[in-house]
Amino acid sequence: MKNSLLIKNAEVYAPERLGKKDILCVNGIIMKVDDSIDEKTIPFETEVLDAGGRAVVPGLIDQHVHVTGGGGEKGFTSRVPEIKFSHIVESGVTTIVGLLGTDHYTRSVENLLAKTKALNEEGITAYCLTGSYAIPTVTITGEVGKDIAYIDEIIGVKVAISDHRCSNPTKEELIRLASEVRIASLVSGKVGEVHMHTGIGKDGIKKVIEIIKETDIPAKHFRPTHMRKANEDDVVEFTKLGGYADYSSTETDPLGKAQEIMDVIEKGAVEDHITISSDSNGSLPKWNEKKELIGITYARMTSLYGEVKALMQKGYPLERAIRFITSNVADALEIGDRKGHICEGADADIVILDSNNDVDQVIAMGALVVKDKNAVKKGFFED
């Protein structure tokens, strides 16, 4: 029996604007995108969903999510809880990459992998990273390369740089780590990313740029996150070298973050190599000049699409703004043939927006999981 869904009267942003189209999804795959598809011509029972001329975009991709929770900088009570399936899909996200943060003592890669597997079972696409902030790297098999090569869900490693909480890895340690990841990526056919939490330290990503210039390791393996205004010149150079630079969305000042992204592109950064992620369920500690903790909260996934809305408010059209959380990320993760695009043969991950361009309905792998802004499918223990 085939699972079939026909979306009618969709104003498709694939992310390029295609105009009014119908989209046929069968068994979780987009089978056809055409001006008009008559449901009577489909040789099996098909559910019909009328988009009513509203904008339809690819399912969003969030490549930096603390799926098991982050935090812990203010003691055990400050550990952020696991993310809920409903919170993910109600944010329009259908593909995520989970990771650890500061805390690799009370959290583990094993627990992270288990949560990743659970999210896949619940109906979205989930990957994860081995490692955390620390060097030596915490793993499951004992080696970063083995984790990537042998564990399907693991596509790279997490590490922290330029932060007073990190292990302050040397250039040589980063070279060895990236080299191991590259070999494992070639063996396993995965992207093999060195995902780097980048703090507000003085060094920024300068070591990474030096490594790319001085070695034969391709820039694509390095994935610095939490880029900001202070990194602007380095981001321009890094993206021109072939790297992908990631900015974190924010609930507190989305227009300011949008302006940072627009400014770095105006300054010469390669737009297709800029991505945005939410840092969802990761802690957001506030430090004073003495590096003393003076406040803490945590990030929400809703800020991801909120950043797109901020870019649109700043003048970017939807088809340009949506790329930072769809096609750009998919191409960076080397899954662009299946994710981040609305095209024949891609996974049926689709978001229907409302008349205000807010997330309204979400289809993940061909199944309707959000209707009228509320999850119709929830996680195993959700009420």
User: Which active-site residues does the annotation give?
Assistant: 279
How far is Cα 58 from Cα 322, in angstroms, rounded to an integer? 9
Place of tokens 């659970």: 118
CA angle 13, 15, 19 (to 5 degrees): 30
If we measure between CA atoms, which residue out of 16, 18, 87, 164 comes closest to residue 7? 18
How far is Cα 347 from Cα 349, in angstroms, rounded to an integer? 6
Following DSSP, what letter does each residue of 339-371 receive, concatenated? SS--STTSB--EEEE-TTS-EEEEEETTEEEEE
How far is Cα 283 from Cα 79, in angstroms, rounded to an integer? 8
How far is Cα 60 from Cα 57, in angstroms, rounded to an integer? 8
| CB neighbour list of residue 362: distance below 8 Å, 6 or more residues apart | 59, 89, 90, 92, 94, 350, 351, 352, 368, 369, 370
How far is Cα 322 from Cα 318, in angstroms, rounded to an integer? 6
How far is Cα 158 from Cα 180, in angstroms, rounded to an integer? 13
Give Cα 239 to chain centroid, integer Å.
18
How far is Cα 256 from Cα 33, in angstroms, rounded to an integer? 37
Residue 336: phi, psi to the nearest 5?
-65, -15
If we measure between CA atoms, which residue out of 264, 253, 270, 275 comes closest to residue 228? 264
The one-letter amino acid code at 363 reads: I
Tokens of 42: 């489909």
Tokens of 109: 């890669």
Measured distance between the N- and C-terminal CA atoms of the chain, rounded to whole angstroms:
30
Bridge-based pairing state of the strands 293-298 and 283-287: antiparallel
Tell me the CA distances in angstroms from 232 to 212, 220, 272, one per residue in order: 18, 19, 16
CA angle 298, 68, 299 (to 5 degrees): 15
